[in-house]
């Protein structure tokens, strides 16, 4: 199984394991009468890493995501039993199992749900659960530290210490906790984090639902209605040209149907980005995609073209993760070239099958910049005509990386990449 660092870190910090990370940190920070030894903590941490690796590889399957979520809680219970200090009603034990059940269940529902609204509801409940988990574990940490200090001073007995950590004492203890202004502020901060996390997840759900719809329809753009004669016009536009690096070698390693699936998902992401930034897909050939901006004379075509390219790059790791989840090989990188200039646009094709077609020097130059990405070791290259049309904020994201001799130019011209 190929190791995906991004997916591993997302599982570790954002998804099924964030409460376990917090729990293990709590064990280190809160020595008490029932503290775990270093060996036991290392065992729990090792089980957590195994759980995350399994979720990275098989977590796209609802039932496995639900079951794997219990690996660390079961490991914690086991080391407690072996150490002779297992208390089934201890708050930490109950919180750990309850959090695993809650998160695992709603993550499985979010994966299995077909409708967008069902997924959003599951993600909303997950965000709420994440907030409550952090608050409850912080409450337990605060209570445990306070009791440990009192036990050391001799203010309470060991039995009182254990009884205070019993989950049946939770309600009055938590009421006292939340009445403190600093604890109430912490709960507010955790809720804010939860809502931010929810907003990011809902955005990802919407994007993936749109891609899934396009992928299912196998349609990126509709045909242009026929007229008696094909219409054509010259326009100054910004062109985005993109290719998958080394796609031919990747396609040779998989059956033809799987290669087609990879390309269709790739096309769908470009279709979503083009629609979002009001561009028009003007050509698809193999792993090459051509998008034009400014066909109607819009003045911000360069800005939208760059935003489209950057948006695609931002979502590319998610596309790779989706391919891996579908047991499809993921491509390494996508090269993108952007150029601005005049083109001829017209309705090309046989009667009844005409679509938008474009040709001209701007197309050739964008494709040339696309191919030069390999030489300059860049994922994106844009020409000076595009750079000049960008605002200062967009220009600040770019760096002049060299000069090239482009088509119909007698002198080398600057090209720019992302800083």
pLDDT of 390: 92
- Is 224 among the domain residues? no
pLDDT of 241: 95
End residue of a domain, out of 214, 241, 258: 214
Contact yes or no for 238/340 (Cβ under 8 A): yes
Q: Strands 398-404 and 413-418, how do they pair? A: antiparallel
Alpha-carbon distance of 259 to 253, in angstroms, equals 9
Please check whether residues 113 and 28 belong to one and the same domain. Answer: yes
pLDDT of 182: 79
Across 313-337, b (16+ Cβ under 10 Å) vs e yields bebbebbbbbbbbeebebbebbbbb
End-to-end Cα separation, the chain, in angstroms: 32
Please check whether residues 100 and 192 belong to one and the same domain. Answer: yes
Alpha-carbon distance of 111 to 109, in angstroms, equals 5
Give residues with Cβ within 8 angstroms of 268, minimum separation 6. 211, 212, 214, 215, 220
Alpha-carbon distance of 414 to 376, in angstroms, equals 13
Question: In tens digits, what is the pLDDT along the chain, a chain of 419 residues?
Answer: 445 566 676 676 655 555 666 666 666 655 555 566 778 778 888 888 888 888 877 777 888 888 988 888 888 888 888 877 777 888 878 888 888 888 888 888 877 876 667 777 877 787 777 777 778 878 888 888 888 888 888 888 888 888 888 889 889 988 888 888 878 777 777 777 666 666 665 555 555 555 555 444 444 444 444 443 345 678 889 999 999 988 888 888 888 888 888 888 899 899 989 989 989 888 888 889 999 998 888 889 999 999 999 999 998 888 887 787 777 787 878 999 999 999 888 776 666 666 667 888 889 999 999 999 988 989 999 999 999 999 988 998 999 998 888 766 667 889 999 98
- Is 222 among the domain residues? no
Residue for token digits 């959090």? 99
Please check whether residues 189 and 238 belong to one and the same domain. Answer: no
Please check whether residues 190 and 238 belong to one and the same domain. Answer: no
CATH of the domain at 401: 3.30.70.1230
Contact yes or no for 222/323 (Cβ under 8 A): no
- Is 223 among the domain residues? no
Contact yes or no for 259/244 (Cβ under 8 A): no
End residue of a domain, out of 158, 190, 214: 214
Alpha-carbon distance of 57 to 51, in angstroms, equals 10
pLDDT of 389: 93
Please check whether residues 193 and 292 belong to one and the same domain. Answer: no
Alpha-carbon distance of 106 to 119, in angstroms, equals 9
Assign 3-class secondary structure to the chain. Answer: CCCCHHHHHHHHHCCCCHHHHHHHHHHHHCCCCCCCCHHHHHHHHHHHHHHHHHHHHHCCCHHHHHHHCCHHHHHHHHHHHHCCCCCCCEHHHHHHHHHHHHHHHHHHHHHHCCCHHHHHHHHHHHHHHHHHHHHHHHHHHHHHHHHHHHHHHCCCCHHHHHHHCEHHHHHHHHHHHHCCHHHHHHHHHHHHHHHHHHHHHHHHHHHHHHHHHHHHHCCCCCCCCCCCCCCEEEEEEEEEEEEECCHHHHHHCCCHHHHHHHHHHHHHHHHHHHHHCCCEEEEEECCEEEEEECCCCCCCHHHHHHHHHHHHHHHHHHHHHHHHHCCCCCCCCEEEEEEEEEEEEEEECCCCCCEEEEECHHHHHHHHHHHHHHHHCCCEEEEHHHHHHCCHHHHCCEEEEEEECCCCCCCCEEEEEEC
In the beta sheet, which residues pair with residue 268? Answer: none
Contact yes or no for 168/174 (Cβ under 8 A): no
Alpha-carbon distance of 233 to 243, in angstroms, equals 27
What does the CA dihedral 256, 262, 266, 272 come to, rounded to 10 degrees? 110
Please check whether residues 178 and 262 belong to one and the same domain. Answer: no
Residue for token digits 């990275």? 56
pLDDT of 10: 65
pLDDT of 186: 73
- Is 113 among the domain residues? yes
Phi, psi at 220, each rounded to 5°: -105, -20
Please check whether residues 115 and 68 belong to one and the same domain. Answer: yes
Alpha-carbon distance of 74 to 332, in angstroms, equals 38
Please check whether residues 207 and 271 belong to one and the same domain. Answer: no
Whole-model pTM: value is 0.53
- Total domains in the fold of the chain: 2
Please check whether residues 204 and 318 belong to one and the same domain. Answer: no
End residue of a domain, out of 214, 247, 275: 214
Please check whether residues 146 and 56 belong to one and the same domain. Answer: yes
- CA distances, 94 to each of 68, 100, 136 (Å): 18, 10, 11
pLDDT of 27: 63
Give residues with Cβ within 8 angstroms of 259, minimum separation 6. 250, 251
- Is 57 among the domain residues? yes
Domain range holding 327? 229-418
Please check whether residues 208 and 331 belong to one and the same domain. Answer: no
pLDDT of 40: 78
Please check whether residues 351 and 279 belong to one and the same domain. Answer: yes
CA nearest 140: which of 181, 94, 184, 185?
Answer: 94
């Amino acid at each position: 199984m190929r190791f995906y660092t991004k997916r591993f870190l997302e599982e570790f910090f954002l998804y099924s394991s964030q409460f376990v990370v917090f729990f293990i940190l709590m064990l280190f920070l809160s020595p008490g009468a029932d503290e775990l030894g270093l060996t036991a903590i290392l065992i729990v941490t090792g089980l957590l890493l195994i759980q995350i690796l399994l979720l990275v590889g098989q977590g796209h399957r609802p039932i496995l995501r639900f079951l794997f979520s219990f690996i660390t809680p079961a490991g914690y219970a086991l080391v407690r039993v072996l150490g002779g200090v297992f208390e089934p009603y201890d708050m930490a034990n109950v919180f750990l199992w309850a959090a695993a059940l809650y998160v695992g269940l709603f993550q499985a529902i979010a994966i299995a749900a077909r409708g967008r609204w069902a997924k959003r509801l599951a993600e909303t409940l997950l965000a709420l659960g994440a907030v409550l988990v952090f608050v409850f574990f912080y409450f337990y940490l605060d209570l445990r530290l306070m009791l440990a200090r009192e036990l050391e001073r001799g203010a309470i007995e060991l039995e009182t210490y254990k009884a205070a950590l019993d989950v049946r004492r939770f309600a009055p203890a938590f009421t006292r906790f939340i009445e403190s202004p600093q604890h109430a502020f912490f709960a507010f901060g955790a809720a804010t984090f939860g809502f931010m996390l929810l907003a990011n997840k809902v955005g990802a759900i919407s994007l993936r639902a749109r891609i899934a719809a396009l992928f299912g329809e196998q349609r990126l753009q509709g045909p242009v209605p026929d007229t008696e004669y094909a219409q054509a016009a010259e326009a100054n536009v910004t062109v985005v040209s993109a290719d998958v690096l080394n796609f031919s070698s990747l396609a040779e390693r998989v059956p033809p149907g799987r290669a087609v699936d990879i390309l269709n998902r790739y096309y769908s992401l470009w279709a979503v980005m083009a629609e979002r930034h009001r561009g028009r897909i003007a050509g698809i050939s193999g792993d090459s995609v051509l998008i034009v901006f400014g066909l109607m004379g819009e003045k911000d075509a360069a800005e939208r073209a760059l935003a489209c390219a950057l948006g695609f790059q931002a979502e590319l790791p998610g596309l790779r993760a989706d391919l891996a989840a579908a047991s499809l090989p993921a491509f390494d990188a996508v090269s993108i070239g952007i150029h601005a200039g005049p083109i001829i646009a017209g309705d090309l094709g046989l009667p009844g099958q005409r679509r938008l077609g474009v040709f001209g020097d701007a197309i050739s130059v964008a494709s040339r910049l696309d191919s030069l990405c390999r030489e300059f070791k860049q994922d994106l290259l844009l020409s000076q005509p595009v750079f000049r049309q960008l605002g200062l904020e967009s220009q600040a994201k770019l760096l002049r990386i060299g000069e090239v001799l482009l088509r119909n130019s007698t002198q080398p011209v600057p090209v720019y990449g992302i800083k």
